[in-house]
Structure 1
């Protein structure tokens, strides 16, 4: 329940027009209420306040420092302090959940189930009102018609659970029928979103994750071989269709500028900044610059939390990636590699690494998978009860007479 409430909190409140108009204030009340409920429930479950030391959570806690320092100037308004409070509650809830991080796949299953439920609402909106689910405003791409979700969000959720489900099948932790129930609909929704970043993140992340299992898993070797063959056939036989899907009807110039993102990035980097703003940013905001979305995690962190925030986020990837490389091959390690690589790829065209977001949840899941399992305490041998010696009568004792 706590994990599901955290996912609900990170769904956001801005997106497409829904079938039943939902006021943004109501959506924000639901998402923020979900975070408060998650924290309260995690605290109730962990009243002894037992936590596991984690470099990942320590770095996220340190990220609060530039966030609070920059937001205290109120350059981004009182909303910056509200977002700092949200980030603090989010990180605190993860600290409370760290008690149950044991390197197992329990949280992976929670992750798949919760996001599959979110995608279920997207599919329901598509069936109820196809026009609202694929509006012209987004170029006919799939959006959330029941809850305001954008195509990149839906693509991200679909890609992540597809990758995790494939890895569970290869590790024989689930059967193929159960995995197909998750993978096939998610692939359809991913294709309808036309999200290039999510598709590339899924393919590259799976390649790296399966590559880490090739030496120890025959199933991974077979899957990798078949995947390469299918990709080669698709590249030759369906090249025109793949190119048309990838371009989404855009011109070459628009594609080169990353759908206009590069112009915002250049303007952000060229803007004059004081020394304090360079070090700590301007405070947590809505990840926009000049009224346009930044759509780059590194530049968004630089804008809102300065070079200090960029350093801490980079340290998160270095720590998680370094630990993943040092761990012996395992299914948990492969899932962590997939999540880390996906977030690293998506950070180029998506924002969210410096604030409470699905990307921080993905990285938190990766951190839980890389935890060294605690060895069970050795059983203490109980002393054997003393057995009273039985006195043997003198007449029954063995004679030593030859």
Structure 2
């Protein structure tokens, strides 16, 4: 070691430092110098807005109107803070946010008819603020892992409230109304929501371990609790999306990462042994005590889907939908993003959402193998699979936040501005390199 240098060891300690280590290490992938820390606060406020207001009964009853005030206040605060951080309105051209802006068109056209009531216009205003905040944040989308770390931290805070509710009142956290599945006892969160957040955290943290952005011990502090919560929610869609997304993401790293090849080999071996040895237990977990017929009908969702598709519609409703609503039909939840977009934003909205996935997927496939590309592939794959039994692609939701993280990972790094040469540098000749003889014209030698 050269004289005057000193070896530094990584910090060890409690959960905050371990969490920082689990979501990024100094070097590539850390927060760029030009990214303010307040950007993470804006992202957390956007996540708070997407938590929703409908869920199980909490330990301390919270009026729904108060929850809606908190969530909408978080969105307004996120937009105001993002605007304060980006007063000059410097944004980056981004196809993802542009397509979300185009999605506002059918939303406004269909909601202006007030067929879904004044709530449709309110939801349009909410979606407009959401998209505007993403435009303001696009200035800091540079292909780094900045928003991945922020995403993990945000949902880990949400998990802290879920774990606290489970410890305080296990009966309220796993009520019989939901079949003993885990819900939010302090904040009204449904089992699919908790399963979704757990799957996203697990997938991103596993990829950070494979990319050597964290240690196994630090990552275990996030992965192990998340796996326990995912198992307690009995969320099949989140589990399938997690496994399929990780397979696609790791396969994108296999040719360039030896750690990814080893992990994939051991994962396939362990999955095979688990499937053979615990087949009956896995089947019971997936069925959740339901009959085979009820399971094949996707817990009654197919009946709602058939009724929605058979309902008569005018040409305007076919093209632009009936307006932004609560993602239900006939008083029952739709639980399908594509049918929800078709119902509320028509075929125009479906075309925009399909184009959104094609653009993100195409850009991800054209990028060279890297950890940001693998994280983006995982998020895109997870959202695409989950959209079959969950709604949210046509409105401000956690699914759009996942895709926004993927868009930030696929963005090209910002280039340094080219400085204009000064008047002196334009007129003064540049000195000749050392050891090179400058040619002097004959008229100058005289």
Question: What TM-score, normalized by structure 2, do the two folds share?
Answer: 0.85
Displacement of 1:376: 3.3
Q: In structure 1, how many angstroms separate the alpha carbons of the residues matched to 2:372 and 2:249?
A: 10
Q: 2:159 aligns with which of 115, 119, 131?
A: 119
Displacement of 1:375: 3.1
Indicate the residue corresponding to 1:396 in structure 2: none
Indicate the residue corresponding to 2:212 in structure 1: 172
Indicate the residue corresponding to 2:44 in structure 1: 4
Indicate the residue corresponding to 1:286 in structure 2: 326
Q: 1:160 aligns with which of 194, 197, 200?
A: 200
Q: In structure 2, how many angstroms separate the alpha carbons of the residues matched to 1:248 and 1:386?
A: 79
Indicate the residue corresponding to 2:224 in structure 1: 184
Q: In structure 2, how many angstroms separate the alpha carbons of the residues matched to 1:63 and 1:386?
A: 57
Indicate the residue corresponding to 2:12 in structure 1: none
Indicate the residue corresponding to 2:133 in structure 1: 93
Partner SS for 2:348: helix
Q: In structure 2, how many angstroms separate the alpha carbons of the residues matched to 1:13 and 1:377?
A: 45
Q: 2:337 aligns with which of 294, 297, 310?
A: 297
Deviation track 1:369-392 (CA, whole Å, cap 9, x = no partner) reads 0001123357899778989xxxxx
Please list, as runs of the form range in 1=range in 2, the aligned pairs for 1:244-323 lying within 5 A after superposition.
244-323=284-363
Partner SS for 1:204: helix
Q: In structure 1, how many angstroms separate the alpha carbons of the residues matched to 2:351 and 2:405?
A: 21
Q: In structure 2, how many angstroms separate the alpha carbons of the residues matched to 1:135 and 1:47?
A: 47
Q: Tell me how many residue pairs correspond in the alignment.
A: 387
Indicate the residue corresponding to 1:375 in structure 2: 415
Indicate the residue corresponding to 1:134 in structure 2: 174
Q: 1:324 aligns with which of 360, 364, 376?
A: 364
Q: In structure 2, how many angstroms separate the alpha carbons of the residues matched to 1:310 and 1:282?
A: 13
Q: In structure 2, how many angstroms separate the alpha carbons of the residues matched to 1:67 and 1:20?
A: 36
Deviation track 1:161-198 (CA, whole Å, cap 9, x = no partner) reads 10000000100111212111110000000000000000
Indicate the residue corresponding to 1:61 in structure 2: 101
1:360 and 2:400 matched: yes
Indicate the residue corresponding to 1:343 in structure 2: 383
Q: In structure 2, how many angstroms separate the alpha carbons of the residues matched to 1:16 and 1:361?
A: 23
Please list, as runs of the form range in 1=range in 2, the aligned pairs for 1:183-222 lying within 5 A after superposition.
183-222=223-262
Q: In structure 1, how many angstroms separate the alpha carbons of the residues matched to 2:193 and 2:320?
A: 28
Partner SS for 1:48: coil
Indicate the residue corresponding to 2:4 in structure 1: none
1:236 and 2:288 matched: no
Q: In structure 2, how many angstroms separate the alpha carbons of the residues matched to 1:282 and 1:385?
A: 68
Moved more, 171-180 or 38-47: 171-180
Q: 2:70 aligns with which of 30, 53, 57?
A: 30
Question: What TM-score, normalized by structure 1, do the two folds share?
Answer: 0.94
Q: In structure 2, how many angstroms separate the alpha carbons of the residues matched to 1:98 and 1:161?
A: 22
Indicate the residue corresponding to 1:397 in structure 2: none
Deviation track 1:245-298 (CA, whole Å, cap 9, x = no partner) reads 011010000011000000000000000000000000000000000000000000
Partner SS for 1:214: coil
Deviation track 1:187-211 (CA, whole Å, cap 9, x = no partner) reads 0000000000000000000000000
Q: In structure 2, how many angstroms separate the alpha carbons of the residues matched to 1:364 and 1:251?
A: 38
Indicate the residue corresponding to 1:400 in structure 2: none
1:77 and 2:117 matched: yes
Partner SS for 1:355: coil
Measured on the aligned residues, the alpha-carbon RMSD in Å equals: 1.4
Unaligned runs of 5+ residues in structure 2 are: 1-40, 433-446
Q: In structure 1, how many angstroms separate the alpha carbons of the residues matched to 2:203 and 2:429?
A: 54
Partner SS for 2:194: helix
Q: In structure 1, how many angstroms separate the alpha carbons of the residues matched to 2:307 and 2:269?
A: 44
Deviation track 1:36-89 (CA, whole Å, cap 9, x = no partner) reads 000000000000100000111110000000000000000100000000000000
Q: Which 4+ runs in 1 deviate beyond 2 A?
A: 374-387
Unaligned runs of 5+ residues in structure 1 are: 388-402
Q: In structure 2, how many angstroms separate the alpha carbons of the residues matched to 1:78 and 1:177?
A: 51
